[in-house]
Amino acid sequence: MAVKTERQAAWLLVAPVVVLVAFNALIPLMTVVNYSVQETFGNNFFLWHGLGWFQDVLRSERFHAAFGRQMLFTGLILLIEVPLGVAIALAMPRRGPLVSVCLVLMALPLLIPWNVVGAMWNIFALPDIGLLGRTLNGLGFDYNMTQDPLSAWFTLILMDVWHWTSLVVLLTYAGLISIPDAYYQAARIDGAGAWAVFRHIQLPKLRRVLTIAILLRFMDSFMVYTEPFVLTGGGPGNSTTLLSIDLVKIALGQFDLGPAAAMSLIYFFITLLVSWVFYTLMTRHDPS
């Protein structure tokens, strides 16, 4: 009997978490699932639609295009931000008064609210009055973010690199300073050059923080909404309409709740799947 009482008491202790998770995750998610398999005409009138919306979304060219742009965006910023972040972290001083200066400078972009970043860069890039726009046009480039897709993409990537490279820098820097001096001393004694030190000591020791950095940058960039929306609104045309922007257009612009719900779930599973694949690949050789 005593055992049974204890178990009941345990359920009571767990209950608040169960309620929290239910309201926080399960109920909203199930609402989305509910919409994704039904047709709705308002006034809470629903018709069963099976997997129809999923088929529609997966077959739609619009989704394919948005997905392609999303992959391109995420791929580009990972390719730029990770090596650049590592390079900056390597160049940062390890000791002395400059350390705090560098750290504060690096942290600044991370402290600016996302919509402010978008607004800042929007103004910065305006061809007639923005510093970037004026300068580029003055240098003879045909740069106009609101008219030319290439200019829009250039600004979009530059903005993300400016905003988020610091995250990679800070994580990498933390990893670098945790490498014991003995490794560098041993490498000097073994006659290793700077590249060998990077390749055989720093990079292997950074493996874990880089895994975290890549995962965070992947997930954040794959779900990014505010900054590109404020910067370009998805344009010109649909050229910078990433998945999240397209999703909001379908759900709240066209009020197509069924396809939007199906697309949300597909979007969610892609993020989850890619993150899992990344993580598995990068931790495959971990000794512990």
Residue 97 lies near another protein (rule: CB under 8 A): no
> What 3-state DSSP class applies to 129?
coil
Residue 281 lies near another protein (rule: CB under 8 A): no
Residue 179 lies near another protein (rule: CB under 8 A): no
Looking at residues 143 to 162 of the shown chain, list those that interact with another protein (rule: CB under 8 A): none
Contacting residue, 49, 62, 134, 200, with another protein by CB under 8 A: 200
Give the x/- contact pattern for another protein in 204-223, rule: CB under 8 A.
xx------------------
**Residue 178 or 254: which CB sits closer to another protein?**
178
- For tokens 């257009």, the residue is 249
Residue 189 lies near another protein (rule: CB under 8 A): yes
Smallest gap from residue 197 Cβ to another protein (A): 10
Task: List C-alpha distances in Å: 64 to 58, 143, 258, 272, 274.
Answer: 8, 28, 18, 18, 17
Residue 182 lies near another protein (rule: CB under 8 A): yes
Residue 193 lies near another protein (rule: CB under 8 A): yes
Count of residues of this chain found to bind another protein when the rule CB under 8 A is applied: 18
Smallest gap from residue 263 Cβ to another protein (A): 42
**Residue 80 or 282: which CB sits closer to another protein?**
282
Residue type, 48: W
In whole angstroms, what is the distance from residue 249 CA to residue 237 CA?
13
In whole angstroms, what is the distance from residue 210 CA to residue 283 CA?
11
Contacting residue, 34, 55, 135, 185, with another protein by CB under 8 A: 185
Residue 279 lies near another protein (rule: CB under 8 A): no
Contacting residue, 190, 269, 276, 281, with another protein by CB under 8 A: 190
Residue 183 lies near another protein (rule: CB under 8 A): yes
Tokens of 57: 């979304």
Residue 176 lies near another protein (rule: CB under 8 A): no
Tokens of 267: 């979007």
In whole angstroms, what is the distance from residue 34 CA to residue 82 CA?
39
Alpha helices in the chain (DSSP H): 2-21, 27-36, 52-59, 61-91, 98-111, 114-125, 131-138, 149-177, 181-189, 194-197, 203-222, 226-231, 243-248, 257-282
Smallest gap from residue 208 Cβ to another protein (A): 12
Listed residue (214, 183, 176) closest to 197, CA to CA: 183
List contacts with another protein (CB under 8 A).
180, 182-183, 185-186, 188-193, 196, 200-201, 203-205, 287
